[in-house]
């Protein structure tokens, strides 16, 4: 599978020796669901990427990016695919010099097998906490080592790690936002809790009224997970997935089919 990199399709990445994405995790990314060649929630993903680039001082040219996306998506070859956009600060000198006037832009499109998605996931609480003050917590950056380490920590006993924040409140998993369903209320950790503001999460938040639910955006105590009617996790590729257990204790399993049906409307 080839990748579009800085203007051309390539079979290998040829990078400058001082590429900061590789040397210092100095870059950002988006992963986007693609159906029949159409990128789902593209505007929302690009808006988040623009905000992130601005906050971190990365050059972001949306017009150029959209042109590149067109040349990638036209090669779509499967009904379900995943698009990944990676933007780094590019090559600079040693040290933390903050300017990079030659950003590296990479775009990949790969098949995404929907039949392999889990019907539910088991979570286990990681000892690694999310840090609400850290850009790596609230932006989608390629500095992902803490999430990788958390996933490794729970591998074998769970499918993903539940991450609390440094204050002990529920934050997210290594790849998804967390929601609790309790009676007619949907509860999810608020933006200041060390979470990435997910796109699927935003779509659900905007749709609560239509779903006949009310929304609580606030700090969430981990004890609340045990008494919820359902706990589920969301991301742009997997949509909403029920959590079957946390640290070996079964979760409430009220069906969330209506929430997935609501999300999937944008996919057809």
Enumerate binding residues for a second copy (CB under 8 A).
Answer: 1-3, 10-17, 19, 21-26, 29, 55-57, 82, 84, 86, 88, 94-96, 98, 108, 110, 127-129, 131, 133-136, 139, 141-149, 151-152, 155, 166, 174-175
Q: Closer to a second copy at the Cβ: 174 or 177?
A: 174
Q: Closer to a second copy at the Cβ: 18 or 215?
A: 18
CB of 117 to a second copy, least distance (A): 12
- Reduced to 3 states, what is the DSSP secondary structure of residue 169? coil
CB of 204 to a second copy, least distance (A): 23
Cβ(125)–Cβ(246) below 8 Å? yes
Q: Closer to a second copy at the Cβ: 63 or 94?
A: 94
Q: What does 86-150 look like in DSSP terms, one character per residue?
A: EEE--B--STT----SS-EEEEEEEE--GGGS-SSEEEEE-SPPB-TT-HHHHS-BS--HHHHHH
CB of 234 to a second copy, least distance (A): 16
CB of 210 to a second copy, least distance (A): 32
| Tokens, residue 99 | 């300017």
Q: Closer to a second copy at the Cβ: 56 or 226?
A: 56
Phi, psi of 139 (to 5 degrees): -120, 155
- Reduced to 3 states, what is the DSSP secondary structure of residue 29? strand
What is the spatial distance between Cα 29 and Cα 14, in angstroms, rounded to a whole number?
Answer: 19
Q: Closer to a second copy at the Cβ: 12 or 63?
A: 12
Q: Closer to a second copy at the Cβ: 147 or 181?
A: 147
Sign of the alpha-carbon dihedral angle for 164, 166, 167, 168: positive
CA distances from 55 to 37, 75, 109, 140, 245 (A): 30, 32, 26, 12, 36
CB of 7 to a second copy, least distance (A): 16
What is the spatial distance between Cα 180 and Cα 228, in angstroms, rounded to a whole number?
Answer: 6
CB of 176 to a second copy, least distance (A): 12
């Amino acid at each position: 599978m080839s990748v579009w990199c800085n203007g051309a399709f390539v079979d290998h990445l040829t990078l400058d020796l001082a590429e900061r994405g590789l040397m210092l995790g100095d870059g950002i990314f988006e992963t986007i669901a693609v159906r029949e060649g159409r990128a789902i929630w593209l505007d929302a993903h690009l808006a988040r990427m623009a905000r992130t680039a601005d906050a971190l001082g990365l050059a972001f040219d949306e017009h150029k990016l959209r042109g590149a996306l067109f040349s990638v998506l036209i090669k779509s070859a499967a009904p379900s695919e995943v698009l990944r956009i990676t933007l780094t600060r590019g090559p600079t000198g040693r040290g933390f010099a903050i300017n990079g006037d030659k950003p590296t832009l990479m775009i990949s499109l790969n098949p995404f097998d929907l039949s392999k998605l889990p019907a539910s996931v088991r979570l286990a609480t990681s000892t690694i906490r999310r840090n609400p003050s850290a850009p790596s917590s609230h932006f989608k950056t390629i500095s992902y080592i803490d999430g990788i380490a958390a996933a490794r920590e729970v591998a074998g006993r769970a499918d993903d790690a539940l991450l609390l924040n440094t204050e002990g409140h529920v934050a997210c998993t290594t790849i998804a936002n967390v929601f609790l369903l309790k009676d007619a209320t949907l509860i999810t950790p608020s933006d200041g809790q060390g979470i990435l503001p997910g796109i699927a999460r935003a779509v659900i938040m905007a749709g609560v009224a239509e779903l006949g639910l009310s929304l609580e955006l606030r700090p969430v105590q981990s004890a609340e997970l045990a008494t919820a009617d359902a706990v589920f996790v969301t991301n742009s590729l997997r949509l909403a997935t029920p959590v079957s257990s946390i640290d070996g204790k079964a979760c409430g399993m009220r069906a969330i089919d209506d929430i997935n049906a609501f999300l999937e409307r944008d996919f057809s």
